[in-house]
């Protein structure tokens, strides 16, 4: 594929509905402030299970609509309130375990970072791998959840870019785009990388499933 054709293919992806980031789908207005960053963590947690992405997004929305938008409110909610919100979003297969983990996760975010994940970034001194490791210390967040968080956050934390993990690169191969992070990143402005990554993750597993695991 020529560079012109490759660039055109990327533009097609960005103009398609599948290019919305998962944060956008969940109604998160992602910016470098504590509340949306915490909401992204919750969303990454939910998306990392072997469950439909649409279900994970709906569960995140239900949690936020129930008032659990900050780590403090998540911690203060009862276990049953978390289970009920997850169930309302259709997240029933993992609801009880996830409700417990979300409470533990909120507690850790409050104790270690004062409720502000920007402090995690500061502690990592801009090192991507250090942030990835810190994320995996959260209850319920493994490599897949860390990847989801970082590829969405790269639009606001520039030192992460390009964060294009194996799932993204598999989608690139399937769509005929470069399966090299640097080459792929050169095709779009940095602030569009999260959208391209989301579209390629969907391409890697099909439109019906976009969970990472």
- Mean pLDDT, residues 82-98 taken together: 94
Check: CB of residue 211 under 8 Å from CB of residue 204: no
Q: How far apart, in Å, are the Cα atoms of 151 and each of 7, 40, 118, 147, 158? A: 20, 11, 16, 6, 11
Its pTM stands at: 0.91
Check: CB of residue 46 under 8 Å from CB of residue 212: no
Region class of 193: left (phi > 0), else alpha (psi between -120 and 50), else beta: alpha
pLDDT band, very low/low/confident/very high, at 208 (cuts 50, 70, 90) = very low
- Mean pLDDT, residues 71-87 taken together: 98
pLDDT at 3: 67
- Mean pLDDT, residues 159-174 taken together: 94
Residue 122 has pLDDT above 90, yes or no: yes
Residue 211 has pLDDT above 60, yes or no: no
Rg (CA), the chain: 17
Cis-peptide, bond into residue 162, ω within 30° of zero: yes
- Mean pLDDT, residues 162-175 taken together: 94
Interatomic CA distance for residues 175 and 138, integer angstroms: 33
pLDDT at 205: 73
- Mean pLDDT, residues 168-187 taken together: 92
pLDDT band, very low/low/confident/very high, at 213 (cuts 50, 70, 90) = very low
């Amino acid at each position: 594929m020529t560079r012109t054709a490759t660039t055109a293919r990327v533009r097609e992806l960005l103009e398609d509905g599948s290019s919305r980031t998962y944060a956008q789908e969940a109604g998160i207005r992602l910016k470098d402030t504590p509340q949306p960053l915490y909401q992204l963590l919750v969303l990454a947690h939910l998306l990392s299970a072997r469950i439909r992405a649409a279900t994970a997004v709906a569960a995140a929305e239900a949690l936020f609509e129930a008032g659990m938008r900050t780590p403090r409110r998540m911690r203060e909610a009862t276990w049953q309130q978390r289970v009920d919100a997850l169930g309302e979003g259709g997240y029933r297969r993992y609801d009880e375990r996830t409700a417990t983990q979300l409470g533990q996760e909120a507690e850790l975010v409050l104790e270690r970072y004062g409720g502000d994940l920007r402090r995690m970034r500061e502690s990592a001194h801009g090192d991507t791998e250090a942030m990835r490791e810190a994320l995996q210390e959260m209850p319920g967040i493994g490599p897949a959840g860390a990847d989801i968080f970082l590829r969405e956050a790269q639009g606001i934390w520039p030192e992460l870019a390009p964060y294009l993990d194996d799932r993204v690169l598999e989608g690139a191969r399937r769509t005929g785009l470069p399966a090299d992070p640097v080459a792929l990143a050169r095709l779009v402005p940095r602030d569009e990388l999260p959208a391209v990554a989301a579209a390629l993750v969907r391409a890697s597993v099909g439109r019906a499933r976009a969970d990472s695991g």
